[in-house]
Amino acid sequence: MLDGPAGLLHHRWRKGKNDKGDGMADLREMAWQRIPEHGDPQDWISGNFQRWELNTSDLAARRGIDNRFATADELRSAVHLCREVMQPVREKFGRYSPNSVYRSQALERALKNKPASWISHSQHTLGQACDIEVHSATNLRLARWIAEHLRFDQLILECYSAEAGPYSGWVHVSLKPPGQGRNRAEVLSYVRDPATGRYVYVNGLVESPPAP
Ligand SMILES: [Zn+2]
């Protein structure tokens, strides 16, 4: 066990940090509504996930884009999502880190090549959505398991096609925390429309048809 709280690695981090008088906190038992806005990136916020995993981004790092949480609300929504979706997936499918959870407006604009005036309405900007993949199952199998076992607002199998390989695409899952509106339990796929070659949303979990 390398990543768990009882692991040696964990113990070493804690010791090193404590030497400087600060350090990571174990927030796993703390109600999501009370998680402090600022803290150590290595704070444990669920059984197997740490604070940094909720807003890390390669693109933000490469381009120097600020992807800190806008307010505590987005962070707390992400913690709620982590505990209700990411953690059960971890327990079923094994170790992984999410591709993307929170995305600031600046990161959304960079990602989608939009002008400074554009506002993203993606649930990623609210901390209410994650993009995940696991090593032990295809994205289709992962999405089917989530559809059957977890609560969510939208579950979207994105860009999955057998032609591109069983691990193509990713799974987008959103969940609104209590007080933020009804969770719709929508199941969709984002697939290539063979007629136009463009990607479209369709109902259910389906793979992209092969290219003509
Ligand atoms: Zn997404």
Ligand 1 center to 46 CA (angstroms): 21
Residues with CB under 5 A from ligand 1 (ion): 131, 172
Ligand 1 center to 120 CA (angstroms): 12
Ligand 1 center to 99 CA (angstroms): 9
Give the domain ranges of the chain.
8-203
β-pair partners for 158: 170, 190
Which class would CATH give 8-203?
Answer: alpha beta
Ligand 1 center to 173 CA (angstroms): 7
**Residue 87 carries which side chain, given as an amino acid letter?**
Q
| Least confidently predicted of 110-119, 182-191, 202-211 | 202-211
Residue 3 token pair = 């990543």
Ligand 1 center to 93 CA (angstroms): 19
β-pair partners for 44: 26, 50
Ligand 1 center to 68 CA (angstroms): 18
What is the spatial distance between Cα 147 and Cα 187, in angstroms, rounded to a whole number?
A: 7
**Residue 11 carries which side chain, given as an amino acid letter?**
H
The pLDDT mean for the chain works out to 89
pLDDT at 9: 43
pLDDT average, residue stretch 104-130: 97
pLDDT tens, 45-57?
A: 999 999 999 999 9
pLDDT tens, 68-88?
A: 999 999 999 999 999 999 999
**Which of 34, 97, 25, 102 has the alpha carbon at shortest distance from 67?**
102
- pLDDT level of residue 212 (50, 70, 90 thresholds): low
pLDDT over threshold 60, residue 7:
no
Residue 78 three-state SS: helix
pLDDT at 182: 98
Share of the chain above pLDDT 90, in %: 80
Own/partner pairs for 9-15, CB < 8 Å, 24+ apart?
13/42
What is the spatial distance between Cα 74 and Cα 10, in angstroms, rounded to a whole number?
A: 27
